[in-house]
Structure 1
Amino acid sequence: MDAATRQKTVVVGAGPVGSLAALYAAQRGHEVEVYELRNDLRDPLTTPLNFTKSINLALSTRGITALENSGAPTLLDQVVDATIPMRGRMIHGVRPTGELYEEHQQYDAHGRTIFAIDRAGLNGRLLDLLETLPNVTIFYNHKMTGADFRRRKAWFEVQAGPQVKNAPRERLPEVEIDFDFLIGADGAHSSVRHHLMKYVMMDYQQHYVDTLWCEFRIRARATEDVASDDKDAAFRAKFAISPNHLHIWPGKDFMFIAIPSCDGSFTCTLFMPASEFADLEASQDDGMTLPAFFDRHFPGVTELISPADLVDSFRRNPHLPLISIKCSPHHYQASVVIVGDAAHAMVPFYGQGMNAGLEDVRVLFALLDKHAQADSNSPFGDDDMVSAEAHRALALAEYSALRVPDAHAINDLALHNYTEMRASVLSPIYRLRKYLEEQLSVHAPWLGWATKYSRVSFGNERYSEVVRQSEFQGRILLGGLIGAASVPIVTGLVFLLMHRRSLANFGSSVFRHAGYIGAWAANGFKR
């Protein structure tokens, strides 16, 4: 198939999700064009859209499965080689005696791990791979300004770099493109979604959580004293704390986390209500308030990050909001679909934002393949573009029907997990349920029992089904605990009912003798 007859697929957004979508399309022989608002994302001078480094990502089974099915045989190995396995959470706190402690909580009773990964590194590998493909073209510094999804046209403004301060803004050149199919992967503030709303009756919900986040960093340690021939020891020596955990300093209303990076450092994030940030911002003149705040709420952090670095990061790095977005549907006819944050931006507390977006791509192309196969098997031999469009429309309709409830489910799970991470990890009830579910998973695998976290992170089960199964298991466990607690009470009642006559006679005897004793006492205990 030559370029003139290939399907032209346009991807808006060159982040990890958009890049993977472009790769999937290219592997199917499409003529692919990728349009990115920013400069080349591999350039360290490129400013991210939120003006700071992204929160370090956690790659789990859903994302791994999507990379594995990309059609690029070496991609997954290259990505995993640049990750750090995290076995569980490490909870940090202080005992009443003032002693600092660390408590490990494993993610999975079967020993499975999630993987800490650098967003820029993953993005760079995908872009490097796309550049080797002859049917992919990437356009940087192109801002989507308009779209006609009925006529399948889009318009992009070609960015000319930063404007000179106070200088009149010149009109930037604009290009018009045609496409057969457009995939919007342009993030939470998606231009594709904005234009899609003009063509479908979209239900849309945007919610800002009353929590801001700010980034900090634990520096890597010097390793001069470690023998160079012991690579594992040299690697581990770079880290100030365990590299195989997500570290959490929980608080009632806020928390501090640290995720390892391959260079030995940790990317750290403070999550806290906006009012608390405002109070700290107002009291930073002396440079002493913030370290004292950390010592009070996140004991041990000032031994890992110097007070000067804490203050510098707090002042220099922005204090950014967290947004949760739900919308429905995710497509329009056969021409456009939105994936990743463009369709379901979520808070980062389940580590599923990127994984859900990569899974979107896998599910989308699996459905496109299914309906294309139905087209090729048609007894009428109708392979023209009209037939292809009709089957693509069916695939996109099925995609929205499947992914909308799943996207809503993981958005809600991510919000609820914030409470778990900052508070529930210390709750005896949370620990009891986790323990019981893990024991059932290990010792009675035929029951199909699993924790909610393991279903989300270590499988490809639909998110909406995970919620349904978790709620079912919760009802079973609650019923069992109530039943177990009620056994002594029921046993006692049965005993009383079975022996009520004997107990009645015993009671009468007691009261009769009590009367004798009372009369005797009234008579001065005289015979």
Structure 2
Amino acid sequence: MHAIIVGGGLVGSLEACFLAKRGLKVDLFEARQDIRLLEHVKGRSINLALSVRGREALGAVGLEQEVVSGGIRMNARKIHDINGKLSAQAYGTKDQYILSIDRRKLNETLLSAAESNSNVTLHFKHKFIKADLDEGKAVFLNSDGQEVEAHADLIVGCDGAYSALRRHIMRTTRFDYSQEYIPHGYMELSIPPSKDDKFQMDHNFLHIWPRGEFMMIALPNQDKSFTLTLFMPFNIFESIKTNEDLLIFFNKYFKDSIDLIGMKELCDCFLSSKALPLVSIKCWPYHVGKNALLLGDAAHAMVPFYGQGMNCGLEDCLVLDEIFEEFGNDLESILNTYSISRNPDAKAICDLAMYNYVEMRDLVNSRSFLFRKKVDNILHMIMPNSFIPLYTMVSFTRLRYHQIIKKWRFQKKIVDSALYALLLSSFIIPTVFIASNKLKLWNLWGRK
């Protein structure tokens, strides 16, 4: 069997490894040039947070340890309040952590792993332009402006949130599609290493500056720097036009970060950059007949606030491989089963990613949220297999995303009822006690 993969990013390269492992001949076509040959890569550089789903997918093709060895453990969130006070919120138990991974290095690792298979061929500077999915044909435009035609039993679209293959499918088949741009954009800044080449902040944390309507986060890098990402509404970004505007804003909301970034570097970077949009995309189905399939962001782009975009995309490849194991080379059954099985999970994590933005920018400062988190952790400690906190289920298990939402809602209902009953009893019992004693006193007074 022969497969064509459209897109040579993280998911496309990993899927090439999975298909090659199953003995398929794979041609991977990437519109950009080989990033391994570039000094600087344009586009997003938001650090990636690797957790269990991504690790298991990498482990299935023998790459987990190589990738993990280049990551930095983040054991907890480090919260920076508006006055500069720090507090920590653990993700789970002491053995549960997520990894800060460099996007470019992971891309290069996966490309090299795919290329190491003798039955995989990489084609760079080949832009997808059209396809005949019934015939299993895809046409690309190479760097010389010539059309290159390729034929295969399976065409897999891994070309991201703005997928060209998905656009083609939308024009030629019945296909449900929705996209939502949130009012917030993002901009990347940086905290460099200290003068003595050390981290300027604790590096085993994901640092968060939650400010209600907006927030900033920082993830550590191997070179002792931190990548900062500022998320806030576009209208606020657009209101900051001068160095003075920027410094007034940062002194009010992120004062402790100014010396870390450097005042000049902050002004130069912010005012020379443009806030970028964040989009959530859902579609259905993920396949066409027995010849074409969408994976990763091409099927389900999500906002980055649960750190699951990459993990979910890598897990797509693992789920597909598990279905291959069940159906052999029956592509029609494989693709149909994948669409039906994976769609509710992808939609669920898109929704959870939206929810987690509210949690990260606002709720982490709420006393009721912190109290509830402590209750959840205590219950998980007492009943580790029965009661599992939401974040733990998402990041440290491979429970299906849509089942996680059901379990979370059920657990929340039970705990809310118990807390309400406890609160009610704490009010009623003293009231009854006081009333009872008043009655006794009244009776004694009456006897006198």
TM-score interval (norm. to shorter): over 0.9
SS in 2 for 1:197: helix
Asked whether the equivalents of residues 59 and 65 of structure 2 are also in contact (C-alpha less than 8 Å), the reply is: no
* Alignment CA distance shift 1:496-1:425 (3 Å): closer
**Alignment match of 2:278 (pick from 322, 325, 334):** 322
CA distance in 2, matches of 1:496, 1:303: 57
SS in 2 for 1:198: helix
- In the aligned structure 1, how far is the partner of 2:180 from the partner of 2:342? 20
Q: Cα offset for 1:397?
A: 1.1
Paired position in structure 2 for 1:177:
150
Match of 2:111 in 1: 127
CA distance in 2, matches of 1:488, 1:311: 54
Aligned counterparts of 1:464 and 1:483: Cα–Cα separation in 2: 29
Q: Which residue matches 1:117? A: 101
Matching residue of 2:410 = 472
Matched, 1:40 2:34: yes
Which residue of the partner structure matches residue 187 of structure 2? Answer: 214
Distance, in Å, in 1 between the alignment partners of 2:426 and 2:207 is: 42
Indicate the residue corresponding to 2:362 in structure 1: 423
- The reply to whether residue 31 of structure 1 matches residue 25 of structure 2 is yes
Shift of 1:45: 4.5
2:361 aligned partner, one-letter code: R
Partner of residue 65 from structure 1, selected from 45, 56, 65: 56
In the alignment, the residues of structure 2 paired with residue 507 and residue 406 of structure 1 have an alpha-carbon distance, to the nearest angstrom, of 68
1:288 aligns with 2:244: yes
Quick one: structure 1 residues 497 and 298, their matched pair in 2 at CA, closer, same or farther if it must change by over 3 Å?
A: closer
Amino acid at match of 1:135: N
Q: CA deviation at 1:53?
A: 3.5
Task: Select 1:302's aligned residue among 258, 274, 284.
Answer: 258
Residue among 161, 170, 188 paired with 1:197: 170
In structure 1, the residue matched to 2:139 is: 155
- Cross-structure match for 1:247: 207
Q: CA deviation at 1:333?
A: 1.5
SS of the residue corresponding to residue 42 of structure 1 reads helix
Q: Residue 399 of structure 1: CA displacement?
A: 0.8
Which of 317, 330, 333 does residue 394 from structure 1 map onto?
Answer: 333
| 1:236-269 deviation line (CA, Å, top 9, x unaligned) | x620101101111111111111110001011111
Are the counterparts in 2 of residues 16 and 126 from structure 1 also a CA contact under 8 Å? yes
Given residue 149 of structure 2, which amino acid in structure 1 is its aligned partner? E
What SS class does the counterpart of residue 122 from structure 1 fall into? helix
CA contact under 8 A between 1:19 and 1:130: conserved in structure 2?
Answer: yes
Following superposition, the deviation at residue 299 of structure 1 comes to: 2.2
Aligned-CA RMSD value: 2.2
**What TM-score do the two structures reach when normalised by structure 1?**
0.81
List per-residue Cα deviations over 1:355-391 (Å, max 9, x = no partner).
Answer: 000000000111012101xxxxxxxxxxxxxxx4xx2
- Summarize the alignment of residues 97-112 of structure 1 with structure 2, pairs less than 5 Å apart: 100-112=84-96
Which 5+ residue runs of structure 2 have no aligned equivalent?
none
- Indicate yes or no: 2:285 matched with 1:339: no
Q: Deviations over 1:167-226 (max 9, x none)?
A: xxxxx2111111101111000000111112234422111000101111101111243xxx
Report the counterpart of residue 76 of structure 2 in structure 1: 88
Deviation at 1:451, TM superposition (A): 1.0
Q: Distance in 2 between matches of 1:318 and 1:202?
A: 33
Q: Is the 8 A contact 2:82 2:253 kept in 1?
A: no
* 1:505 Cα offset (Å): 7.5
Is contact 1:12-1:35 (8 Å) kept?
Answer: yes
Work out whether residues 39 and 46 of structure 1, in 8 Å CA contact, stay in contact via their aligned partners in 2. Answer: no
Aligned-pair CA distance for 1:492: 6.0
What's the counterpart of residue 224 of structure 2?
A: 264
Letter in 2 for 1:101: K
The residue aligned with 1:238 is 198
Paired with 2:53 and 2:257, the residues of 1 have a C-alpha distance of 32
Deviations 1:407-455 (A, max 9, x none): 1110011111111111100011111111011111113325x21110011
Residues 201, 239 of structure 1: CA spacing in aligned structure 2 closer, same or farther, 3 A cutoff?
same
CA contact (8 A) 2:209 2:361 kept: yes
Q: Structure 1 pair 489/104, CA: closer, same or farther in 2 (3 Å)?
A: closer
- CA-CA distance at 1:506 after TM superposition: 4.4
Instruction: Check the 8 A contact 1:110/1:442 in 2, yes or no.
Output: no
Find the partner of 2:345 among 391, 395, 406.
406
CA distance in 2: counterparts of 1:86 and 1:477, whole angstroms:
29
SS where residue 281 of structure 2 aligns?
strand
Distance in 2 between residues matched to 1:65 and 1:417, nearest whole Å = 23
In structure 2, how many angstroms separate the alpha carbons of the residues matched to 1:318 and 1:496?
Answer: 64
Q: Deviations over 1:445-497 (max 9, x none)?
A: 25x21110011000110011111111111101100011101114444676699
Cα separation, 2, equivalents of 1:493 and 1:103: 38
Larger radius of gyration: 1
CA apart distance, 1:498: 8.6
Q: Could you tell me how far 1:54 is from its partner in structure 2?
A: 2.1
Q: Residue deviations 1:315-356, cap 9 Å, x none? A: 233310000001111111211110110001011100000000
Q: Secondary structure at the match of 1:315?
A: helix
Inter-CA distance 13–486: structure 2 relative to 1 (3 Å threshold): same
- The one-letter code matched in structure 2 to 1:273 is P
* Corresponding residue for residue 233 of structure 2: 273
Structure 1's consecutive aligned runs of 4 or more residues displaced over 4 angstroms after TM superposition are 492-500, 502-510
Q: Within 2, Cα distance between the matches of 1:449 and 1:34?
A: 43
Deviation string, structure 1 residues 32-87 (Cα, Å, up to 9, x no partner): 00000101022334653xxx3321100000000000112x3xx2111111000000
C-alpha distance 295-496 of structure 1, shift in aligned 2 (>3 A):
closer
Say yes or no: does 1:365 pair with 2:321: yes
Question: 1-side partners of 2:345 and 2:383: how far apart?
Answer: 28
Quote the offset at 1:311 in angstroms.
1.2
The count of residues paired between Structure 1 and Structure 2 equals: 448
Tell me, in whole angstroms, the C-alpha distance in 2 between the residues paired with 1:104 and 1:23: 39
Displacement of 1:90 in angstroms is: 0.5
Distance 1:81 1:303 in 2: 31
Structure 1 portions without partners, runs of 5+: 1-6, 161-171, 224-236, 373-387, 514-527
Equivalent residue, structure 2, for 1:432: 371
Residue identity (%): 38
Q: Assess if the C-alpha contact under 8 Å between 2:56 and 2:64 holds in 1.
A: no
- TM-score scaled by length of structure 2: 0.95
